Amino acid sequence: MEGVTLPAAQLAYCTNVHPGETLARTKAMLEQHAVRVRELTAPNGTLGIGLWLSAQSARELLLEADGVARFRDWLNARALAVRTINGFPYGDFHGETVKTRVYHPHWADPNRSLFTLDLAKILAQLVTPGTRTASISTVPVGWRPDFSNEGCGASVGLAASQLEWMSGKLAELEESTGVRITLDLEPEPGCLLDRAEHVVSLFDQCFNTEQTRTHLGVCHDICHSAVMFEEQDDALELYARHAIRVGKIQVSAALSCAGAPKEIAELAQFAEQRYMHQTCVLAGNGDVQFFEDLDLALDAMPDGPWRTHFHVPVHLNEIGRLGTTARQIPIALAAASKVDPPCFEVETYAWTVLPPHLRERDLAGGIAKELAWTRAALEHAGYEVRT
């Protein structure tokens, strides 16, 4: 409508779909895939990316003379613009078996803080000149069993102290660079924070100063929230009501089914050994039964609707007999306008572990389809999309 200012949305795709245990491998994958995605989606423009750097890659960048500046020039030459960083995976995210290793180091381990500070220093130099705010998403404190083993679990208090320390470092970085880097905890099924109410509880207990609320926030992953059977708009409204800033929305979809035998048989094809596929089943009384991995749920065979943490292409509503939670995405996008996230990041990292008959021959082509679908969904929700 004439005279109406539409909310702006930055759109990016997360490069954790590509291997990148070293800086050389990261650049090779961006050259092979991200450049092709840009050619397909913005042949005469710039492609926004959510950069993933392993701890080793980040260290290499910072130890190399003018490494970050040269990497920025390398990205600019390929019309790739870093909008955000995914600081969740620390090591090799594409190893043979990742599973719960992805949650280590957790936030009670100082190595997580040091890695995240490296990422913040890098991101402040990589963002487009004039950028005021950029997000780093991170582990939601840690995998819950690591913190709840009686007598030997990791300390939530130590984790909160590390996060408080990080908020101070991010404030110093903003003062020196003019760029506000925010650290955004990403709730995930089975982690210490896996529902919006857990985030609210942590923030209300531990993070009540202006500095921490300015530099610490939440990354809302639509797939993760859907697996927990949260209502997307309720979760985002809860953050807004408790003044918890949402720094990033990860646009993603999970597998779902009603629990019929033929559906479960198809779902079993998605049990694989690299990533965690936490599964929740909604009981008739409204309780959510949680299983740490899909194979455990398949062994138990509970009754009720199933949702499984397996990031599937966001433009698909059905995969064979199975459904997806892609219909949750427009609900989340509409609700997100009330919390004003600066970035929407498409994060489908599981393309390469899909059952063979579902894999795209051209990975870049599949990512391009997701970005086109997400752009249309954002525009339908009333956003002005900027790359």
pLDDT in tens, 44-68: 999 999 999 999 999 999 999 999 9
- 68: domain CATH number? 3.20.20.150
- The alpha helices in the chain, defined as continuous H runs, are 23-29, 35-41, 55-63, 67-77, 110-126, 144-148, 156-177, 196-206, 210-215, 222-227, 232-241, 261-267, 294-300, 328-336, 363-380
Residue 306 domain-assigned (yes or no): no
* pLDDT score at 149: 66
Instruction: Compute the distance between CA of residue 90 and CA of residue 289 in angstroms, rounded to an integer.
Output: 29
277-307 tens-digit pLDDT? 999 999 999 999 999 999 999 999 999 999 9
Q: Is 204 helix (H, G, I), strand (E, B) or coil?
A: helix
pLDDT at 150 over 70: no
Residue 328 domain-assigned (yes or no): yes
Residue 289 domain-assigned (yes or no): no
Q: Is the dihedral of CA 100, 101, 103, 104 positive or negative?
A: positive
Please report which confidence band the pLDDT of residue 312 belongs to, taking 50, 70 and 90 as the band edges: very high
Give strand pairing partners of 249: 220, 344
Residue 19 domain-assigned (yes or no): yes
87-107 tens-digit pLDDT? 999 999 999 999 999 999 999
Domain residues for the domain of 57 are: 8-253+316-386
Taking residue 44's Cβ as centre, other Cβ atoms within 10 Å add up to: 7
Residue 278 domain-assigned (yes or no): no
Closest CA to 250 of 332, 177, 327, 176: 332
If one counts the domains in the chain, the total is 1
238-253 tens-digit pLDDT? 999 999 999 999 999 9
Token representation of residue 347? 């994060």
Instruction: Compute the distance between CA of residue 239 and CA of residue 282 in angstroms, rounded to an integer.
Output: 24
Residue 247 domain-assigned (yes or no): yes
**Does pTM surpass 0.85?**
yes
Residue 296 domain-assigned (yes or no): no
Residue 309 domain-assigned (yes or no): no
